[in-house]
Structure 1
Amino acid sequence: MNPVLPQRWRWLALLLFSGLLGGVLRALHFPAGVLLGCMVVGILMSVQWGQMDLPTPFFVLAQAVLGCLMAQSMRPPALTKVLADWPLFLGINLLVISAAGLLGWLLVRRKVLPGTTALWGIAPGAASAMVLMAESHGADMRLVAFMQYTRVVLVTAVAAGVAHLAMTVATVPAVPDQTTGLQNLYHVGATLLLIIAAALAAQRWHIPAGGLVLALVCGTTLQALGVLVIELPPALLVLAYAVIGWSIGLRFTREILLHAWQALPMMLAAIAALMGLSLVLALLLVLLVGVAPLTAYLATSPGGADSVVVIAATSAVDASFVMAMQLVRFLMVLVLGPRVTAWLARR
């Protein structure tokens, strides 16, 4: 039994060790180094000392920052390209979602997890919505949460590793550092107002991932109309990356790990199969469409969208393509995922 550590000391230790590990990864030019460092430290702290609840407003604000980061890449030329290639975005994401449904169905048939838990746990995105919907349909919410966030952790770690290796081996020019440089205070202020408004609206109306979605939609629209120029303060980006990392890591507890231990091998196999299919789709994008390999890999990685967006923003890739592909799948899973999964669960 671990000795009880006062809550304030836990938070102090979390901040200290996250800063150290995140700083080391950033110094090594590791994509999404801050997010990865905070995620790893969050997992270790939560397992060692018990669950630590990150205040919901912080998480919603961080999502809104990432929504603006995505909108920043969706300038009119990039948006026009995405709209012109909509069958490609729709087709690739339908394949990923269909594969996830098939894997979940196989796990249910083999009775690897109780009831319909696997169907909700393997869905490639909208993790929070899937966890909440799963409980209302009789699935084990703890196992669904564990499976969803294990997928997010693995996808994030592997995607960041692949991006780091690809940029090192290919000696790709470094992505411009988004944490330096002077900015227009008027544009920064307008962007901050959009972030706060999106976060408040998301909490007021209880919209799943609403901070990200509302900031993205409003930011893209205002930017396309020439009303807004999105500029994000460097410190705000770092804080958002940290909060997203903690939001993933702090969900893992010793109790959940013990509860899921027996089913862990099959869970990992299903997640690996989903990641393998995404790799095949990435190869198809490279061979048939001519997308750059790293861009294709990040675009088809099976979520979380917020963590992959951070990796894309800190790597030398076509960020608009990656973010658009992730956004389309995120919205498809958010809108269709619970309905399709509930339909499968009833049968």
Structure 2
Amino acid sequence: MPTRPSLDSIALMRQWLLLLVLAVIAGQVLRLIGMPAADFLGSMLVAIGLGVRGARIRVPALAFKFGQGCIGLLVARSLSAETLASIAHDWPVMLLATAITVVMSLLVALFLVRYGDLPGSAAAWGLSPGAASAMVALAEDHGADSRVVATMQYVRVVCVVLIGAVVSHALGSDVTPPQIPTGTAPLGFTVPANGILTILVLTGSVLIGARFPAGALLVPLLAGSAMQLGGVFIIDLPQWLLCLAYGALGCYVGLRFDRATFDFVVRRLPSMLFSALALIALCALSALFIANLLGKDFLSVYLATSPGGLDSMAIIALDTQADVGLVLAMQTMRLFGVVLIGPYLARQIIRLSR
């Protein structure tokens, strides 16, 4: 039986060129059919295919963090005083939604341990609905199999992104690129000065935030929000930089699916997919309940409660004109909650699984 040719023998420069060309084509095709987060989604799918075929290229961690920083600033641009007031008013319901998501992930993890042939520690961290990179790092620190955890986390991220994009498209949301404002800030900075200050804030906050879990996203988000709400300058990100940020995030996630990971996933894919889809479905059901409590549209609440990464959900929310403030607030609240109580939940799942 003939074997498929591997990309391992191709020069690294050609692998990068192949990734770039295919990612651009995939992004354009997805954009033509109206798919949200087209650049991010297209580059991720292409990178998964190349990674499985033996590509040896990897997106540097710093590029991934700068991509997160760009998304953080882009989300910060969408925040306003009115949005923050709404969040402050609805925080009890948001806290309830966070608790519901965490409890559901606990139940699905217990089910997976019992019927999915996975160790309790790996299932606990693999289904923790926080930032994938942060959960992998925490799992490694607490003695869990980081390979299993990383696989489960990124399988879930892929499922969440794909389903989130399809749901956004099916609900008929108008997909428009994020509008980056231009003009003069209250302190008198002009357009070129806004762009320079934005790049400086991006660089400094990413370098500072890179030392903490999800800090490369949250520090630029907090710094950009504070400076823009304070009237220091208007966040001005060029469109080409946003495309690079989306591509870096998608390729970083996709290229982690190498052949070894693929073979490992195939053997346990049914149980991993079932657990991921079950958690997504339970979160969607809770979104119906939370949407009624908040009086918000289902799409915004669905993205806010989806057990995916903060950056990927923010990208979809920005592209579909959903309530970015709500998505950001609930995803961030859950991220901090999982990081803080993750070790305790993992111990409880291990104890109950015995």
Q: Return the TM-score normalized by structure 2.
A: 0.90
Q: Distance in 2 between the 1:312 and 1:18 partners? A: 21
| Shift of residue 115, structure 1, vs aligned partner | 4.6
**Counterpart of 2:177?**
177
**Counterpart of 1:253?**
258
Q: Aligned match of 1:292 in 297, 311, 323?
A: 297
Letter of the 2:207 counterpart: L
1:244 aligns with 2:249: yes
| Shift of residue 308, structure 1, vs aligned partner | 0.9
Q: Distance in 2 between the 1:16 and 1:223 partners? A: 36
Aligned length: 340
Map 1:127-146 to 2 at 5 A.
127-146=132-151
What SS does structure 1 have at the residue aligned with 2:342?
Answer: helix
Gaps of 5+ in 1: none
Q: 1:179, 1:233 within 8 Å by CA — same for their partners in 2?
A: no
Q: 1:195 and 1:262, CA in 2 relative to 1: closer, same or farther beyond 3 A?
A: same
Q: Aligned match of 1:202 in 209, 217, 220?
A: 209
**Counterpart of 1:119?**
124
Q: 1:279 and 1:257, CA in 2 relative to 1: closer, same or farther beyond 3 A?
A: same
For each residue in 1:286-313, what CA deviation from the matched residue of structure 2 results, as whole angstroms up to 9, or x when unmatched? 3333211211221111111111110000
| Greater shift in the superposed pair: 59-68 or 318-327 | 318-327
Q: 1:75, 1:223 within 8 Å by CA — same for their partners in 2?
A: no
Q: Distance in 2 between the 1:53 and 1:202 partners? A: 21
Q: Distance in 2 between the 1:114 and 1:345 partners? A: 8
Q: 1:285 and 1:65, CA in 2 relative to 1: closer, same or farther beyond 3 A?
A: same
Q: 1:133 and 1:182, CA in 2 relative to 1: closer, same or farther beyond 3 A?
A: closer
Q: Aligned match of 1:73 in 78, 93, 96?
A: 78
Map 1:64-103 to 2 at 5 A.
64-103=69-108
**Counterpart of 1:234?**
239
Q: 1:51 and 1:120, CA in 2 relative to 1: closer, same or farther beyond 3 A?
A: farther
| Shift of residue 339, structure 1, vs aligned partner | 4.3
Q: 1:179, 1:237 within 8 Å by CA — same for their partners in 2?
A: no
Q: 1:154 and 1:50, CA in 2 relative to 1: closer, same or farther beyond 3 A?
A: same
Letter of the 1:216 counterpart: L
Q: 1:160, 1:311 within 8 Å by CA — same for their partners in 2?
A: yes
What SS does structure 2 have at the residue aligned with 1:116?
Answer: helix
Q: Distance in 2 between the 1:26 and 1:246 partners? A: 17
Q: Return the TM-score normalized by structure 1.
A: 0.92
What SS does structure 1 have at the residue aligned with 2:129?
Answer: coil
| Shift of residue 344, structure 1, vs aligned partner | 4.1
The percentage of counterpart residues that share the same residue type is 37
1:326 aligns with 2:331: yes
| Shift of residue 177, structure 1, vs aligned partner | 3.1
Q: Give the RMSD, CA atoms, in angstroms.
A: 2.0
1:149 aligns with 2:164: no
| Greater shift in the superposed pair: 333-342 or 119-128 | 333-342
Letter of the 1:247 counterpart: Y
| Shift of residue 225, structure 1, vs aligned partner | 2.1
What SS does structure 2 have at the residue aligned with 1:261?
Answer: helix
| Shift of residue 108, structure 1, vs aligned partner | 2.4
Q: 1:191 and 1:339, CA in 2 relative to 1: closer, same or farther beyond 3 A?
A: farther
For each residue in 1:259-304, what CA deviation from the matched residue of structure 2 results, as whole angstroms up to 9, or x when unmatched? 2322221111111111111111111133333211211221111111
Q: Distance in 1 between the 2:136 and 2:42 partners? A: 25
Q: Distance in 2 between the 1:233 and 1:26 partners? A: 19
Q: 1:345 and 1:220, CA in 2 relative to 1: closer, same or farther beyond 3 A?
A: farther
| Greater shift in the superposed pair: 176-185 or 294-303 | 176-185
Letter of the 2:178 counterpart: Q
| Shift of residue 139, structure 1, vs aligned partner | 2.2
For each residue in 1:222-249, what CA deviation from the matched residue of structure 2 results, as whole angstroms up to 9, or x when unmatched? 2222223222211111111111111111
Q: 2:35, 2:169 within 8 Å by CA — same for their partners in 1?
A: yes
